[in-house]
Structure 1
Amino acid sequence: MPSAPDEAQAGVTTGTADHSSCSGGKEFRFILSQDISLPLSFRVNRFVPDRTLLIERSAPVLFVECTLYIDGVQFGLSTNTRLKSLGSPYCWNELVTLSAKYRDLTPFSHLAFTVWDMSSGEDNIYIVGGTTISLFNSKNQLKTGRLRLRVWPNKMADGSLSTSTPGKVPKTKREEIERLERVANKYIRGQIPHIGWLDNLIANAADKLEKESERTENLHSSLIVELCSFEHRVVFQEYGAKLHTSVPSSLVDISKNKLVIACDPEIGRINPSEHKHSVLAWSLARGVNDREMKPSSVDQKLIQNILKYPPTRTLNVDEKQLLWKFRFYLTSEKKALVKFLLSVEWSDIQEAKQAVALIPRWESIDVADALGLLSPVFQNEEVRAYAVGVFERASDEELQCYLLQLVQGLRFERSDRSRLAHFLVNRALSNYELASFLRWYLVVELHDPSHARRYLCTYEMLEDAIMRYIRRKMDFKCGRV
């Protein structure tokens, strides 16, 4: 295989988790496509033309245009191979890397290849043919290995879902070399048992057949490409996919079905038994107050993974217990404060008091993290006041970068005259540019009827503060103060 598959294989085995399932006593190990953050890469090997091209074009100069289509729509820009004019077969053996990543793919992702001839000059490019191949098979498994694609003459590659240039040849129309290559792919993937002496005989026979097919006149043009191979099979799974889907209307209509459909209203709800077990286990974990407790190497890795979660990801019960258990140890990690506060059960008064008392001991967090504490997730006044205190230490330039988000955060405050509102007004008095931006942000929010009252109150606070500031300056100039 080419170097790209080797690199991909190494990246996946160290950077993603592999999974396994047992069927009929045989273990099937696989990797989820959503876990592969590597760019999509493949190798354009060679183009074997048919006899028509050799007759019509005396000295063609060819290149291959490679395009990715996702759900029938082009994704990113096309990539071209270098020019080739040494005669049949036209061998590039060129690695092509696209901007898309494997985790971006869907089951309806296709690679479209168009072969062009530039022998007549750049202004008169001739379409030799096109072909399209689906990246996933019928089992939602990523295709790998070497593929021989049938090229449709004088047609650009069609990347639509109902493509008119399919590269896959039906079984009844496959030539012997195409059949052998498909079997070879299964052999490489381990789907065919390895028998040493017999494998050598078959390999030699396949090489002879391939050389003979290149010497003889071909009835169809073919493009040979090599897709990346991984240590295990890659199975499609969309990130954040919903597990519950709506029932088709045809199944609900009893007149069209002999089976009786019974709807379970408790599907997707919390299991009371599991919830009670989680609460009891949580209570035991909450009772641990060892200030010197340190996480093991395994727990340390789990904590670091939790800290890398995006802000919108909800923590499960085990993750919350882990953060609470090592809360004293995590006070030196400023990135852990927001995640720790997400693990707190704020409805528990004693637990909320412990969490609030621990905040001043924490390493001071960054301004970007403090912005998350002003979201609707955190309703505790002490937590929101701590976030405002972080912004009080920020410079005017840094504050202006987050001013719009801070203004929008006013709608999540409990009162109209909150600490956040007073902070924004007071900082605006010391900076004319900041005051101008704040005023216009508030004016825009006045058009939202659901929060107009809140922003009107803040706007009036700003206007009154500016007027008092101007009067003090005028009195100072007139010598009244």
Structure 2
Amino acid sequence: MTGNEFRFFLSCDINLPVTFRIERLEGSFPNSKFPNSENNASAENRMSEIYVECALFIDGAPFGLPTRTRLESAGPPFCWNELITLTTKYRDLTAQSQLTFTVWDLSHGEGLIGGATILLFNNKKQLKTGKQKLRLWAGKEADGTSPTTTPGKVPKHERGELERLEKLVNKYERGQIQRVDWLDRLTFKAMEKIKERESLKNGSSHYLVVDFCSFEHRVVFQESGSNFLLPSPIASTNDIVIVWDQEVGKINPSEHKQLKLARSLTRGVIDRDLKPSSNERKSIQRILKYPPTRTLSGDERQLLWKFRFSLMSEKRALTKFLRCVEWSDVQEAKQALELMGKWEMIDVSDALELLSPVFESEEVRAYAVSVLERADDEELQCYLLQLVQALRFERSDKSRLSHFLVQRALCNIELASFLRWYVAVELYDPAYAKRFYCTYEILEENMMKKAAGVNGEEDGFKQWQSLVRQTELTAQLCTVTRDLRNVRGNTQKKIEKLRQLLTGLLSELTYFDEPIRSPLAPGVLIIGIVPSESSIFKSALHPLRLTFRTTNGGTSKIIFKKGDDIRQDQLVVQMVSLMDRLLKLENLDLHLTPYKVLATGQDEGMLEFIPSRSLALILSEHRSIISYLQKFHPDDHGPFGITATCLETFIKSCAGYSVITYILGIGDRHLDNLLLRNDGGLFHVDFGFILGRDPKPFPPPMKLCKEMVEAMGGAESQYYTRFKSYCCEAYNILRKSSNLILNLFYLMAGSNIPDIASDPEKGILKLQEKFRLDLDDEASIHFFQDLINESVSALFPQMVETIHRWAQYWR
């Protein structure tokens, strides 16, 4: 027996959706039924529109909604090659789970071609993988009852040479048969001839080819929560018995000893001269492309350790190398740290990975901080929120990271302001309050010690006082909010009371004694509130909309919320701002609106007010987006009666937010939280659901409503084509920075943000899935175009059920 025969996965442990690919329909079709241009002049009028309907049945009962492939509008061969992903996960399956496939033809009166059913697990309770050729029962819908009346597998006594060969092809594709190019070509030619012969013999039989997902090891059925130690009763001696191995996942002493011997430091001299072979180089390059969330196997760790010296010039390899070090071995850890000092300097985005909870070594974390020191203030501000969260994973309260953040803040008042707020909000977390308070104290102490400010105009004490007064301002605004909630009457009465307070009892808020740095934009000095321009939003929490005067004679409009945790909104808007920066570095400006958000407490915070209107309000008053924009940017010669610049801004912003909301899995999208600026820029607000969570069932893959598509001229227009082009370009640009984005979310794993705190690992894996790192750039473009088409197909009369389902979502 080989070691591989003992390796398997349990179905109850696989938290992935059931996935399979519908490849093609085989068989001979009468010319009258499937015409072609050679034998029928009116072929174009009678093109076949064939699709496959798939449904999952568990223990003979339907489970979830059926799924359909796209329509095929051409003659034979009918090839969909379409990936189907069900909402059901492998862990939810039972041993009697089966899939039904019914093939329909909408272009002819009879409609139904045939159906077939297949069990997902074989008689040994192993999950079926690879290609399965199912014989359709002509004129019958697939039957999901148990036992089924439409079995797709051909009985043994009816199987011919072709079935045997197809089994061998399955093994060949899974790499279980050695590949020999010249012999393979001859074999496949011979197989084509056998296929033709078999199809003539079978007459009008139809076959559906389905490709089931394969895993690294075999998958054996096991119910979730079963007692692995007590085997189920055995009916006969031939039944498979599943016994849980208690030592799975534990260190094998023999393997560990072998690994130690293989890594013997006495071999260090030999290892210096080792060079990887061609195959080893390919394996290493594959490992280097792994996302930061992926755990390395024992063989992969051994491979990186073996060629550690030859990898020192490859900066991407350092984080992977440090993951394969046995840090409990003092000598090995010492050598790893020596190599780390000589390694090619890594990028700032990779340094963030070294600050994650995976790396506990103080030397490694100190090295990461030394890399961060190269980042300028603008870049550092992009990651500051996550760097503060990384303090949770430090081994001491006064760490190198804490010292670095304070020192950089002393040189930049904006960084100091944000650092102070980010740390202050975390003081409410009892588990880490002491650690964050230490950083707060160090910042305050050093600010007070400063002899002069950044510009030499303010001393350290005055700078710190300007930051402290921000807290006093927010405390006063909290009091105002509470007072207004106690006012009886409608929103207008509350607005009158607000203006009355600002001109009476709280007149100190109208004119400050000294300028205060705006918490949202510390570079802006505010000197008081304008009562006549301040208002209240009509909402349960009654957020304040305040207009502040600034020292330069302008105004700054801010929304203040009390009673709502906006830390999740703060994170999403930070990611929008970062992605906007990444796109612009690649010369792609999608006119995004990363408005400023700052949480000043667990249930309070400030948001920048952007003059705009919701799509719900625009459509109720103007009936379309275009007629609204014609008010502000009319042009008789422009597209749809508006200026080309305005339309381009709208198209680009729609593309940008479509990609970003897809990647971040933002849910609960409706016409009230999609806002439109007068210049045509569209943007999203209110991010209460992220990473795939959504309060409504069956959300569309992309948040694209039909009114947005109509404003581009419809799904067939050149402007909609341009929109899709911007989407695909932006998606590929952001995929290049997937490691950076994943690292930033990984650092948030310990935060109290609701949709991350509930299940950090699951959330980050969902985010990783959205990048489709298994695809190259060209394949990712096709994937994203299919995603857009799938979302937009719900907006037009093609599939009534889907339209109704997603129309309900937008309502």
TM-score, with normalisation over the residues of structure 2?
0.39
Identity level (%): 40
Structure 1 regions of 5+ residues with no counterpart? Answer: 1-18, 23-37, 50-58, 85-90, 121-125, 214-221, 229-233
2:370 paired residue number: 389
Q: State how far apart, in whole Å, the 2-side matches of 1:437 and 1:76 are.
A: 48
CA distance in structure 1 between the aligned counterparts of 2:281 and 2:194, rounded to whole angstroms: 53
Q: Which residue does 2:135 correspond to in 1?
A: 148
Structure 1 residues 424 and 75: alpha-carbon distance in aligned structure 2, compared to 1, 3 A threshold: farther
Q: Is the Cα–Cα contact under 8 Å of residues 61 and 117 in structure 1 kept in the other structure?
A: no
Structure 1 match to 2:396: 415
Per-residue Cα deviation, 1:169-196 (whole angstroms, up to 9, x for no partner): 697xx9xxx985x4354143367xx9xx
Taking a change above 3 Å as real, the CA distance of residues 184 and 276 of structure 1, as seen in their structure-2 partners, is closer
1-side partners of 2:232 and 2:3: how far apart?
39
The whole-number CA distance in structure 2 between the counterparts of 1:205 and 1:257 is: 40
CA change 1:241–1:115 in 2 (3 A) is: closer
- Alpha-carbon displacement from aligned partner over 1:349-381 (angstroms, at most 9, x marks no partner): 343333223223211111222112112232222
Q: Distance in 2 between matches of 1:472 and 1:227?
A: 69
Distance 1:135 1:320 in 2: 38
**Which amino acid in the other structure matches residue 50 of structure 2?**
V
1:115 aligns with 2:104: yes
Q: Distance in 2 between matches of 1:21 and 1:374?
A: 36
- Alignment partners' CA distance in 2, 1:330 and 1:276: 25
The one-letter amino acid paired with 1:117 is L
Is this contact kept in 2: 1:145–1:185, CA < 8 A?
A: no
Q: Please tell me whether the aligned partners of residues 250 and 256 of structure 1 are also in contact (alpha carbons under 8 angstroms).
A: no
Q: Distance in 1 between matches of 2:310 and 2:153?
A: 62
Q: Do the aligned residues in 1 keep the contact of 2:229 with 2:243 (CA within 8 Å)?
A: no
Task: Assess, with a 3 A threshold, how the Cα gap between structure 1 residues 170 and 386 changes in structure 2: closer, same or farther.
Answer: closer
Within-5 A mapping of 1:78-477:
78-82=69-73, 91-99=75-83, 110=99, 112-115=101-104, 117=106, 128=112, 131=115, 133-134=117-118, 138=122, 140-142=127-129, 144=131, 147-150=134-137, 167-168=150-151, 182-183=159-160, 185-189=162-166, 207=200, 210=203, 224-227=207-210, 236-237=214-215, 248-249=226-227, 252=230, 269-283=250-264, 285-290=265-270, 292-297=272-277, 298-315=279-296, 319-431=300-412, 434-465=415-446, 472=453, 476=457
Aligned partner of 2:39 in structure 1 is: none
Structure 2's unaligned 5+ residue stretches are 6-18, 31-44, 58-62, 169-186, 463-811
Equivalent residue letter for 1:79 = R
Q: Given the superposition, is the C-alpha separation of residues 204 and 79 from structure 1 closer, same or farther in structure 2, using an over 3 Å criterion? A: closer
* Distance change in 2, residues 1:131/1:460 (3 Å): farther
> Quick one: which amino acid aligns to residue 65 of structure 1?
Y
The CA distance in 2 between the partners of 1:209 and 1:315, in whole Å, is 49
Question: Are residues 367 and 241 of structure 1, via their aligned partners in 2, closer, same or farther at CA, if it must alter by over 3 Å?
Answer: farther
Letter of the 1:64 counterpart = I
Shift of 1:407: 2.0
Determine helix, strand or coil for the equivalent of 1:43.
Answer: strand
d(CA) in 2 for partners of 1:433 and 1:240? 55
Q: Output the CA distance in 2 between the equivalents of 1:472 and 1:464.
A: 14
Q: Distance in 2 between matches of 1:202 and 1:320?
A: 46
2:131 and 2:210 in contact (8 A); partners too: yes
Alignment partner, residue 503 of structure 2: none
Question: Which residue matches 2:657?
Answer: none
Distance, in Å, in 2 between the alignment partners of 1:200 and 1:243 is 39
Q: Measure how far apart 1:129 and its partner are.
A: 7.2
Q: CA RMSD in A?
A: 5.4
TM-superposed deviation, 1:427: 3.0
Task: Flag the 1:362–1:150 CA change in 2: closer, same or farther, 3 A.
Answer: same
Give the Cα separation in 2 of the matches to 1:265 and 1:208: 53
After superposition, give the CA deviation of every residue in 1:391-428 in whole Å (9 maximum; x if it has no partner): 11123343334333322211111221212112223334
Task: State the AA in 1 paired with 2:274.
Answer: K
Per the alignment, in what secondary structure is the counterpart of residue 426 of structure 1?
helix
**Which stretch of the first structure deviates more once superposed, 328-337 or 398-407?**
398-407
Higher RCO, 1 vs 2 (CA within 8 Å, ≥6 residues apart): 1
Question: How far did 1:386 drift?
Answer: 1.0
Compute the displacement of 1:387 (Å).
0.4
Relative distance call for 1:328 and 1:201 in structure 2 (3 A) is closer
> 1:335, CA displacement in angstroms?
1.4
Which residue of 66, 70, 93 corresponds with 2:52? 66
C-alpha spacing 1:95/1:436, structure 2 compared with 1 (3 Å) = farther
Q: Secondary structure at the match of 1:330?
A: coil
C-alpha distance 304-262 of structure 1, shift in aligned 2 (>3 A): closer
Verify the 8 A CA contact 2:26 2:78 in the aligned structure 1: yes
Structure 2 residue matching 1:409: 3-state secondary structure: helix
Counterpart of 1:402 in 2: which secondary structure? helix
Deviates more, 1:162-171 or 1:414-423: 162-171
In the alignment, the residues of structure 1 paired with residue 305 and residue 153 of structure 2 have an alpha-carbon distance, to the nearest angstrom, of 59
Give the conservation status (yes or no) of the 8 Å contact 1:112–1:132: yes
Q: Is the 8 A contact 1:43 1:227 kept in 2?
A: yes
Count of residues in correspondence between the two structures:
393
Q: What amino acid is aligned across from residue 427 of structure 2 in structure 1?
A: L
User: Does the aligned pair in 2 maintain the 1:137–1:143 contact within 8 Å?
Assistant: no
Measure the CA separation in 1 of the matches of 2:273 and 2:112. Answer: 70
| Structure-1 separation of matches of 2:280 and 2:448 | 56
Amino acid at match of 2:275: P
For 2:732, the equivalent position in structure 1 comes to none
Which among 20, 23, 40 is matched to residue 21 of structure 2? 40
Give secondary structure in 1 for the equivalent of 2:326.
coil
Shift of 1:207: 1.8
Aligned 8 A contact 1:370 1:387 in 2: yes
For residues 467 and 223 of structure 1, the distance between their equivalents in structure 2, rounded to whole angstroms, comes to 83
